[in-house]
Amino acid sequence: MILLMNIIIALVGFVGIIAARKLSRQTERMDLKNHFVILGIKVVFISAIVSIFYLSTEKNTHALLILTGLLNLIVFHFIEAFVTQKKLIKNRNLNV
């Protein structure tokens, strides 16, 4: 059950990576606002998935479901950040 949930969450994370990459290539500017919108959508979907699995499993696996779902979200969010970081840094025009 935990493996199935994490596979579904990984698919959601992969869709987020593809959406961020497409947005960064399509638009002239990849703002942090777009990045946060994608994160918010992923958090909502992943929370819903974890909640569905949370309700349908035994009590002794609830903490494991939440922790693995959160770890999966964090990993895919960092991968998404690495995919789009060049575009985000380029738009900020940092003068150091």
pLDDT digits (tens, 9 = 90+) for 47-95: 999 999 999 988 888 999 999 999 999 998 888 888 877 766 665 555 5
Instruction: Please report the pLDDT score of residue 95 as a whole number.
Output: 56
pTM score, two decimals? 0.76
CA dihedral for 57, 61, 67, 69, sign (positive or negative): negative
CA dihedral for 28, 29, 33, 39, sign (positive or negative): positive
What's the rounded mean pLDDT across residues 18-37?
A: 75
